[in-house]
């Protein structure tokens, strides 16, 4: 197992600015493991902008460990490996938690590669599956599979179609579907497709399990064997894969770049403190929005900003469960009731609602039902008249009368909530229109 290099908590400046994996260690055990494109900046962010999960272990940290990697993809793979081996206390319990991701490979003639939250075989599932994981960052994992697919094309469809799909035309799939065509009836052709499908799927799993070194060694042996057998065309193809894999692992950027502060948070916090006569500094703001088509396929969103910076790990999406006739207020009611049933997500200082006075009054009524959430202040943005309604104020403020720093920040909050709601709504629509698109 790879070994961490440890430094004292007070020596954050000694952490490298390179990609890799880091850990927080308490007195006797490793508490948490994470990965980063820039280890120093990511670790500093835990202390500067802590999430509600960070607060669980920040005070217990005595040392910080790190392992440098040559690429972001290697950091992703190493993080998964270490979480599985060490099982740190404050990482979500990997074997049960649906927030984690696994990559599966079916054990059949033409293996399928796919990602999933669930590793338990369903009673209806007859095909045996091999899994690798857990992976914490779903977006980075999907980007990695997309990149590796260019080097080792693999099948991803649940059922082999009757004719080649877009993945074949993009040269991202060995296309076992070709065997159903007239040209694919040849025995040699079937063996070639089967060999390529199994080899590529095996390489994908080997990379995700063991990393770069093991796979490059395997490919180099394969290339030498092919050359010795004078199968020069296949040897050249393997050589190209070796070079492509080296290049990708060194240069691929798969982690989301953290958004830097673009607002004067001190000024914004003081404005809201003054409005509501609060002594405590404002830190966390949540914004809510809903999206639907005439009440159908309705979704809701919650975005979270801490000290003016969006925290995407704290975003939440809601599929509206109400049936029958629904409107904006009934959808908002459901979203807020479900949100405030999860106080373990953390409690905001302020919440922004998309809508007017009625929406503000509804939000105020819902958050006042619980003692812990009564202190939250609500404000709403009526975009039509560009007015801001604030809890406890009789008359609205015109957006144009506010300082530009404040109005721009409010608009950014609202736009981000709207963007997140629309993105989720489009996914629901796609699933509805293309149920078996894979």
Distance CA 390, CA 404 (A): 18
Query: Are residues 277 and 323 located together in one domain of the fold?
Result: yes
In a domain, residue 256? The reply is: no
Q: What is the pLDDT of residues 63-91, one digit of tens each?
A: 999 999 988 988 998 998 898 888 888 87
Query: Are residues 269 and 157 located together in one domain of the fold?
Result: no
Q: Residue 322: its pLDDT value, please?
A: 72
With 80 as the cut, is the pLDDT of residue 31 above it? yes
What 3-state class would DSSP assign to 330? helix
Query: Are residues 170 and 272 located together in one domain of the fold?
Result: no
Domain boundary among 86, 117, 145: 86
In a domain, residue 259? The reply is: no
Q: At what angle do helices 72-86 and 138-151 cross, to 10 degrees?
A: 120
Of the listed ranges 25-39, 224-238, 366-380, the one predicted with least confidence: 224-238
Q: Give the CA radius of gyration of the chain.
A: 26
Query: Are residues 290 and 397 located together in one domain of the fold?
Result: yes
Distance CA 170, CA 361 (A): 53
Closest-CA residue to 336 (of 288, 267, 399, 408):
288
Q: What is the pLDDT of residues 271-291, one digit of tens each?
A: 999 999 988 889 999 999 887
Tokens of 117: 């939250």
Q: What is the share, in percent, of the chain residues with pLDDT greater than 70?
A: 87
Q: What is the pLDDT of residues 200-239, one digit of tens each?
A: 999 899 888 887 778 888 888 888 888 888 888 888 888 8
In a domain, residue 257? The reply is: no
> Whole-number mean pLDDT of the chain?
83
Closest-CA residue to 67 (of 147, 119, 118, 1):
1
Query: Are residues 173 and 234 located together in one domain of the fold?
Result: yes
> Residue 327 in contact with residue 340, Cβ under 8 Å?
no
In a domain, residue 94? The reply is: no
Query: Are residues 409 and 353 located together in one domain of the fold?
Result: yes
The CATH number given to whatever domain includes residue 386 is 3.30.420.340
Q: Which residue, chain included where needed, has tokens 């599929």? A: 319
Query: Are residues 128 and 31 located together in one domain of the fold?
Result: no
Q: Residue 283: its pLDDT value, please?
A: 92
Distance CA 285, CA 429 (A): 29
In a domain, residue 142? The reply is: yes
In a domain, residue 166? The reply is: yes
Question: What's the sign of the alpha-carbon dihedral 23, 27, 29, 32?
Answer: negative
Q: What is the share, in percent, of the chain residues with pLDDT greater than 90?
A: 27
Q: What is the pLDDT of residues 187-203, one digit of tens each?
A: 677 788 888 899 999 98
Query: Are residues 343 and 415 located together in one domain of the fold?
Result: yes
Domain boundary among 227, 251, 275: 251
In a domain, residue 92? The reply is: no
Tokens of 255: 């982690």
In a domain, residue 26? The reply is: yes
Domain boundary among 251, 282, 314: 251
What Cα–Cα distance (Å) separates residue 295 from each residue in 231, 292, 318, 380? 61, 5, 14, 22
Query: Are residues 150 and 118 located together in one domain of the fold?
Result: yes
Q: How large is the average pLDDT for residues 37-58?
A: 81
Does the N-terminal peptide bond of residue 189 adopt cis geometry, omega within 30 degrees of 0? Answer: no
Q: How large is the average pLDDT for residues 383-393?
A: 85
- The count of structural domains within the chain is 3
Of the listed ranges 5-9, 106-110, 136-140, 379-383, the one predicted with least confidence: 136-140
Q: What is the pLDDT of residues 165-183, one digit of tens each?
A: 888 888 889 888 888 766 6
Query: Are residues 247 and 269 located together in one domain of the fold?
Result: no
Q: How large is the average pLDDT for residues 409-421?
A: 88
Of the listed ranges 52-66, 228-242, 317-331, 345-359, the one predicted with least confidence: 317-331
Query: Are residues 175 and 38 located together in one domain of the fold?
Result: no
Tell me the pLDDT band of 427, cut-offs 50, 70 and 90: low
Q: Residue 325: its pLDDT value, please?
A: 62
Can you give the residue range of the structural domain that contains 27?
A: 5-86
The CATH number given to whatever domain includes residue 63 is 3.40.1440.10
Query: Are residues 242 and 303 located together in one domain of the fold?
Result: no
Distance CA 425, CA 320 (A): 10
What 3-state class would DSSP assign to 155? strand
Tokens of 81: 């490996």
What is the reported pTM? 0.57
Q: What is the pLDDT of residues 114-172, one digit of tens each?
A: 988 877 666 556 788 888 888 888 888 888 888 889 888 999 888 888 878 888 888 88
């Amino acid at each position: 197992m790879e070994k961490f290099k440890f430094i004292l908590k007070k020596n954050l400046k000694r952490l490298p600015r390179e990609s890799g994996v880091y850990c927080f260690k308490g007195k006797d055990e490793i508490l948490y493991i994470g990965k980063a494109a820039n280890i120093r900046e990511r670790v500093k962010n835990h202390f500067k902008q802590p999430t509600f999960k960070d607060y669980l272990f920040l005070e217990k940290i005595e040392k910080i460990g790190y392992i440098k990697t040559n690429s972001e993809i290697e950091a992703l793979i190493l993080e998964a490996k270490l979480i599985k081996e060490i099982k740190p206390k404050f990482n979500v319990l990997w074997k049960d938690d649906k927030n984690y991701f696994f990559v599966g490979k079916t054990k059949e003639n033409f293996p399928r590669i796919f990602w999933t939250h669930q590793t338990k075989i369903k009673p209806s599932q007859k095909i045996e599956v091999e899994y690798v994981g857990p992976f914490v960052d779903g977006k980075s994992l999907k980007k990695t599979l997309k990149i590796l697919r260019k080097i080792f094309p693999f099948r991803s469809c649940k059922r082999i179609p009757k004719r080649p799909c877009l993945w074949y035309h993009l040269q991202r799939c060995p296309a076992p579907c070709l065997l159903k065509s007239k040209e694919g009836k040849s025995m040699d052709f079937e063996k070639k497709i089967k060999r390529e499908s199994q080899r590529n799927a095996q390489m994908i799993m080997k990379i995700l399990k063991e990393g770069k070194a093991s796979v490059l060694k395997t490919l180099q042996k394969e290339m030498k064997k092919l050359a010795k057998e004078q199968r020069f065309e296949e040897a050249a193809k393997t050589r190209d894969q070796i070079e492509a894999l080296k290049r990708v692992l060194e240069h691929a950027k798969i982690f989301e770049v953290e958004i830097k502060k673009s607002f004067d948070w001190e000024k914004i916090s003081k404005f809201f403190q003054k409005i509501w006569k609060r002594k405590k500094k404002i830190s966390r703001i949540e914004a809510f929005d809903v999206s639907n088509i005439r009440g159908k396929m309705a979704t809701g969103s919650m975005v979270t900003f801490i000290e003016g910076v969006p925290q995407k790990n704290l975003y939440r999406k809601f599929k509206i469960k109400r049936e029958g006739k629904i409107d904006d207020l009934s959808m908002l009611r459901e979203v807020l009731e479900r949100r405030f049933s999860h106080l373990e997500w953390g409690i905001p200082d302020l919440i922004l609602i998309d809508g007017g006075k009625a929406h503000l009054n509804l939000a105020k009524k819902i958050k006042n039902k619980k003692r812990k959430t009564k202190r939250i202040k609500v404000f709403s943005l009526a975009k039509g008249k560009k007015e801001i309604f604030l809890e406890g104020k009789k008359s609205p403020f015109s957006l144009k009368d506010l300082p530009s720093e404040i109005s721009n920040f409010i608009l950014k909050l609202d736009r981000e909530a709207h963007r997140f709601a629309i993105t989720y709504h489009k996914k629901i629509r796609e699933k509805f229109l293309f149920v078996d698109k894979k």
